Each structure stands twice: as C-alpha cells, then as structure tokens.
Chain A
Amino acid sequence: MKRFILFWVVLLLLPVASFSETPEEKGLAIAMEADLRDNGFGDFTSQLKMVLRNRQGESSTRVIRNQTLEVEGDGDKSLIIFDNPRDVKGTAFLSFTHKVKNDDQWLFLPALKRVKRISSSNKSGSFMGSEFAYEDITSQEVEKYTYRWLRDEAYEGQSTFVIERDPVDPKSGYTRQVVWIDQAEYRPLKIEYYDRKNDRLKTLIYHGYQQYLGKFWRADRMEMVNHQTGKGTVLNWKDYKFKTGLTDRNFNKNSLKRVR
C-alpha cells in the first residue's frame, strides 16, 4: 500500500515540481513507473536453464523451475525447484522478499528431509555458483535502492533513461548500479554493477523481451559477464505462465517439502 501512497504523493507533486525536478526525483519517478507497470501480475511460473561458463570456455548447466507470487504491499514470495544437475534434484529454495527488512529464506534438502533456514545476509553471495548474486535475482523492490537520473541515451536503437541506483543495504555487494531503461515500456535493457571498491564488476544484458497478458514484459535471455574474472552466466527462460492460481498455501515450509 505504501508504494501506492508514495506514488500518488509524487504524482500530485509533479505539476508543481516538474520545472525543478532534481535528478534524484526523476530517477525515483522512473523506477516507480517501471514498478507500477509490472504491478498486478498476481503470480507466474517459469522454467530456467542456467549456463555457467568459465574463462576457458568450459560450461555447466543447471535447470530450475520458478514460482513467484506477488504480495500486495511487500516483496514477492518465490519458490525455486532444482531439476538438474541430478544430484541436487528435489532441492528447493523458498524466499519471502521484503521491501526494507532482510528477506526470509529456507532451503529444503531432500536427502535429509530437512528444511534449513538460511541467514539473511547472503544477498551478495553467488546463486548456485553462477555470476548472479542472490540480490540480482530476487524481487527488485523500489525501496531497495536510492536513485539518480544520469542522462537520456540511445541504446541499441531505443531511447533509454540511464539511471544510477545505489543499494540501501550496506550488506549489498555493490556501491552502485547503472541501469538502461527503455522509455517506451520501462524495461531494464542493461545493468552495470560496480563493486564495493567502485570498480566495474559485471554487466547484465536483457534479450528477447516478450509481453504476457498484454501487459507484463519478461526477457527470454539474460546474459551476465563478470569483467574481473572473465566468467559468464546465461539465463534462458521459457514457459512463462501468468495468473496460474498460486496462493500463499504454495509458499510455506510444507509446500517446500512436497514440491518436486
């Protein structure tokens, strides 16, 4: 709800402030518009093939399924189920993301039938050995960053806003991120991540956006390159299904134990 109030407040102030809008206000307004356009998806499921590559060109593939539930007034709930490599088959990861406080996370270990709580400070840690950190793949809430509009720029033939966003949480692995957002649909096209020393660490590029239910845009492919290690990870998404009827009941410790 807070998100909406904040949005209306900003909207009401807009006519007055439009001449003197600071880069910070403009950056925030862009982030809120992007967030608003993805509002109301309810829930979705998808399949993900993740390909890890090292500098020598060797690769390794992970196959996972994802279920996400939109939560009104808070971060999304999501359940991730591992199918491949075969030794981790049946392992499942449940997270309740929050706008401001730390996310709640649990991991189900099928061999022991054990649900293990994961400490909430792993956001800068690698997700399954990939170049994606947990904080890169969990729900991107507006409140998790402060914003600054940098410039408008043409990127790959599209007009974009280039904004900088700085993580609010000091436990984040980044000092800042630079995001290219297309002006037509408010979708991220490219993100550059800067590490704690403010050196450029990674670049993420979104490919093949598709629109679902006439509203929600999802990329088919996301390519992350780590400039410091030369390693890369490609996420290939498929089988997006929206409004599948998932509820809170699908996102608890019991459902974590029975998903396959």
Chain B
Amino acid sequence: MRLPPLIRFMPLLILCSFGVFMPEAMANELTGYVAIEGRLFFDDSLHTGQREQQSSIIAKPEYFHEWKESILTVAPFFRLDSADSKRSHVDIREFFVLWYPEAFELGIGIRKVFWGVTESQHLVDIINQTDLVELPDGEEKLGQPMVNLSLLRDWGTLDLYLLPYFRERTFPSLKGRLRSSLVVETDRTRYESGAKQHHLDVAARYSQTFGDWDVGLSYFQGTGREPTLIPGADASGNPVLIPFYEQIGQTGLELQWVVEEWLWKLEMIHRVGQGDSFEAWTGGFEYTFTALFGSKMDLGVIGEWLHDTRGEAAPTPFEEDIMVGFRLGVNDMASTELLFGVIQDLERSDRILSLEASRRITDHWKIEIEAFIFARQSPNELLFSQRDDDFLQASLFYHF
C-alpha cells in the first residue's frame, strides 16, 4: 500500500502504522541511553537558596523507522535533578518525518539543526533554542518545531525553514547552581511580538563545498533566541530578571578552509532588532598532529578569537576573548578522548577553563567527566555571579 506523501507525514497515521501498514518497512529500531550524573561544586554556594549537591538521572531513547525515501525519528529527553526543579525537565528533542526523493528533502516536525564551524561558541547556529540548564556552555539544544525544505542542486544546498512555534531558553531555578544572583523568572517572559510564542519565524541557508572551502550563508527573521534580561519582580514582589525576546533579523556567514593539517574557520553574524544593530565573529584554526610521537594518538590544537562589536554592553561574556584548546584522541580500544579549553578575556582578567573527557568501559557502558572553572571573574562581568560555581561532573552512560 502506498499512501500519498502528504498523508504519510501525519504523525498520527504514522504512529498507527508501526510495522503494520507499511510492507516496505526497512528498519524499526530503538536506541539511546540512560545515565546517572553527579556534580561536585568546589565552593559553597553564593546565593541564598542554592543547594550544595546535585545529581541527576537522564534518559534519551530514540525510535527510528525507515521506509523507501522516508524516515521517522522520535527522540524524547528526560532529566530528573535532585536540586534544581527547572533542571528536571522533559523535552521532545526530535519527532519528525523526513521525505527524501532525489532532488529535495522535506522534513516536518520537531528537529535539531546545526549551523557553524567554530568550536568555542556557535554564533551562526540559531534555529534551536539553548537548553541552558543542561550545561553552561550552551551546547545542548531544545527541539524546534519546523517545516524544512532542502533543495539539493549542483550549485549547492538551499535550506528553507518555517518555524511556527518558539521555544523559551531554560534557566536554573532558585535552588540551582550556575545562575545569576537574581533568578530568571520564566513565568513572566515577555515578547516584542503580540503573537508571542506563535510568531512565525523564517530562515534560509545556502551551503556548498568548493573544493577545499566549505561555505554557508544564512538569514533568520523572527523571535531572537537570546533574551534580554530585564530587572523586574515576580508574583510575590521579589526582584527577579524577566526574559524579553525581541524580533530580530540575523545574517550569518560560515567559512572553512582546509589546508593539509589546518582547518581555518570563520563565523560572522550581523543582527538587527536587539538594541542597536551589531556584528560578532569567531575566527581561528584547528591544527591536527596525526600519529603523535609515532603513537596512535591524535592531537588537535585549537585557537579562536571571539569578538562582539557591542563591547561591554554585550549580553555575552565573549566580547573580546581568545580561546585556546587541545583535543586529544588516544585511539585506544576504549576510545579515550580529552578536550581542554581556556577562554581568556583580552581586556579583563576573566577566564573560563573547561575539560571534557570520555572513555568507553564496555560496548554499552561509557564514562564522561566534565569540569568548568570560572576564574578571576571581575565584578562587572556577566559570569561574576557564577564565580563560586566551579564544578566537576561525572556521568555514567548505558547506551542501548
């Protein structure tokens, strides 16, 4: 039985059809992980109400089914946290159908999209909202409802996006660590657009590889993902910060050039609608030493310069900073990996150190260590309120 494509996209029908209606079924697969995570903070908490200990249980199952020229992916995410009620959360990371006949791809549902080339921060990457309660580096993202048409041509790939629903950034609760001194009150969130979360955002991106060059050019028009935090009061009159989401337009450029062991990278954005228009960029390199000292180890050295033309007024700690990083791949049976990075403010003392390490124990078990140190934060720097939140986190994953 072959259904017309449009009907096939309706999730309900597809849910009913798990292996029953589709004789062409090629895969019916459940994968994912469950994990436990413990955090150790080096200093006592700074703000009233914060807990000293934090541990979590995490699960991310992933269901996947494939037909001829189409794929269904369902990936919910669950976290139960001992300290922070806002960090305990459920999200649909992915729930979409992708139809891919020859010349285009059409994806409908909740998806995650990544744009960008640099390592220290991801300026151009704007489609998905940051799930900030997960990790302070902002690498974790919330699922974004969308319709995405991807046109694959000889001259490149053109992606068009309709984003009908806005996801708010997550922030720690009063009891959580890694927060501003005033709690961000997400019950009072305000929007520039009267349509609030239902404003229809649009985006487009052109990407192509020209030999040793990878190029991406993008435009986004809609609700900004990065809120302006405005001092206000909560329902009982306590001082809080209230997120305000402006309507913005953002143009993004990604460039990457491969020359032997070097990867040269540049990301630039120009944003209008959030205060005065501004530009920001991240540029740098990644150099890889292969087979270090005759061993199987690989060492990557990363250097990046981070700049924001708003300077001190920028709602980011990276207005004029450099990042130096090292990525070590041991290439042993346990696939041991280490990533160490330092981001140093060039105008002040502020320094952020981060460490990520992982090692496989068996085919299914894996251990990961992450550490963040907010060093020498100056009083008017954004992360000053997190100066005593240095932590070490260990996670044990079971992948199935």
- Contact A121 B260, CB 8 Å, known A114-B114, A249-B152, A252-B152: yes
Q: A258 touching B100 by the CB < 8 A rule? A: yes
**Smallest distance from the beta carbon of B356 to chain A beta carbons, Å?**
12
**Smallest distance from the beta carbon of B396 to chain A beta carbons, Å?**
12
Residues 110-147 of chain B, each 1 if its beta carbon lies under 8 Å from chain A, else 0: 00111011000000000000000000000100000000
Q: Does B345 contact A (CB under 8 A)?
A: no
Q: Which of A58, A89, A129 interacts with B31 by CB under 8 Å?
A: A89
Q: Does A73 contact B (CB under 8 A)?
A: no
Q: A119 touching B286 by the CB < 8 A rule? A: yes
Residue numbers in B under 8 Å from A115 (CB-CB) = 114
- Contact A119 B114, CB 8 Å, known A84-B363, A129-B335, A258-B98: no
Q: Does A104 contact B (CB under 8 A)?
A: yes
Q: Which of B27, B31, B260 interacts with A120 by CB under 8 Å?
A: B260
Q: A119 touching B150 by the CB < 8 A rule? A: no
Q: Does A171 contact B (CB under 8 A)?
A: yes
Residue numbers in A under 8 Å from B207 (CB-CB) = 253
Q: B31 touching A86 by the CB < 8 A rule? A: yes
> In whole angstroms, how far apart are the Cα atoms of A5 and B290 in the complex?
36
**Interface hits, B286-304 → A, CB 8 Å:** 286-288, 290-291, 294, 296, 298
Identity of the chain B residue whose Cβ is nearest the Cβ of A228 in the assembled complex: B294
Q: B214 touching A117 by the CB < 8 A rule? A: yes
Q: Does A20 contact B (CB under 8 A)?
A: no
Residue numbers in A under 8 Å from B332 (CB-CB) = 129
> In whole angstroms, how far apart are the Cα atoms of A124 and B294 in the complex?
10
Q: B150 touching A260 by the CB < 8 A rule? A: no
Residue numbers in A under 8 Å from B139 (CB-CB) = 112
Q: Does A60 contact B (CB under 8 A)?
A: yes
**Smallest distance from the beta carbon of B17 to chain A beta carbons, Å?**
18
Residue numbers in A under 8 Å from B22 (CB-CB) = none
Q: B114 touching A85 by the CB < 8 A rule? A: no
Residue numbers in A under 8 Å from B298 (CB-CB) = 122, 125-126
Q: Which of A86, A102, A129, A171 interacts with B400 by CB under 8 Å?
A: A86
- Contact A121 B261, CB 8 Å, known A86-B363, A87-B397: yes
Identity of the chain B residue whose Cβ is nearest the Cβ of A54 in the assembled complex: B333
Q: How many A-B residue pairs have CB under 8 A?
A: 108
Identity of the chain A residue whose Cβ is nearest the Cβ of B115 in the assembled complex: A114
Q: Which of B66, B157, B212 interacts with A253 by CB under 8 Å?
A: B157
> In whole angstroms, how far apart are the Cα atoms of A58 and B331 in the complex?
15
Q: A129 touching B331 by the CB < 8 A rule? A: yes
> In whole angstroms, how far apart are the Cα atoms of A137 and B332 in the complex?
18
Q: A120 touching B258 by the CB < 8 A rule? A: yes
Q: Does B218 contact A (CB under 8 A)?
A: no
Identity of the chain A residue whose Cβ is nearest the Cβ of B62 in the assembled complex: A90
How many residues of chain B have a CB within 8 Å of chain A?
51
- Contact A112 B333, CB 8 Å, known A102-B260, A258-B98: no
Identity of the chain A residue whose Cβ is nearest the Cβ of B100 in the assembled complex: A258
**Smallest distance from the beta carbon of B218 to chain A beta carbons, Å?**
15
Q: Does B193 contact A (CB under 8 A)?
A: no
**Smallest distance from the beta carbon of A170 to chain B beta carbons, Å?**
11
Q: Does B340 contact A (CB under 8 A)?
A: no
Which of B102, B116, B150, B331: most chain A CB closer than 10 A?
B331
Q: Does A61 contact B (CB under 8 A)?
A: yes
Residues 227-255 of chain A, each 1 if its beta carbon lies under 8 Å from chain B, else 0: 00000000000000000000001001110
Q: Does B89 contact A (CB under 8 A)?
A: no
Q: Does B278 contact A (CB under 8 A)?
A: no
**Smallest distance from the beta carbon of B323 to chain A beta carbons, Å?**
17
Q: Does B270 contact A (CB under 8 A)?
A: no
**Smallest distance from the beta carbon of A249 to chain B beta carbons, Å?**
6
> In whole angstroms, how far apart are the Cα atoms of A117 and B291 in the complex?
19
Q: A113 touching B290 by the CB < 8 A rule? A: no
Q: Does B64 contact A (CB under 8 A)?
A: yes
**Interface hits, A44-60 → B, CB 8 Å:** 52, 54, 58-60
Residue numbers in B under 8 Å from A195 (CB-CB) = 294
**Smallest distance from the beta carbon of B248 to chain A beta carbons, Å?**
23
**Smallest distance from the beta carbon of A191 to chain B beta carbons, Å?**
19
Q: Does B386 contact A (CB under 8 A)?
A: no
Known pairs A104-B258, A114-B116, A258-B105 / 11 extra A-B pairs, C-beta < 8 Å: A60-B363, A85-B335, A112-B114, A113-B112, A115-B114, A119-B263, A120-B258, A120-B260, A125-B298, A129-B332, A258-B100
**Closest 5 A-B residue pairs measured CB to CB?**
A86-B399, A60-B333, A125-B290, A126-B296, A126-B331
Interface residues, chain B, with chain A CB atoms under 8 Å away? 27, 29, 31, 33, 64, 66, 71, 98, 100, 102, 105, 112-114, 116-117, 139, 150, 152, 157, 207, 209, 211-212, 214, 256, 258, 260-263, 286-288, 290-291, 294, 296, 298, 331-335, 360, 363-364, 366, 397, 399-400
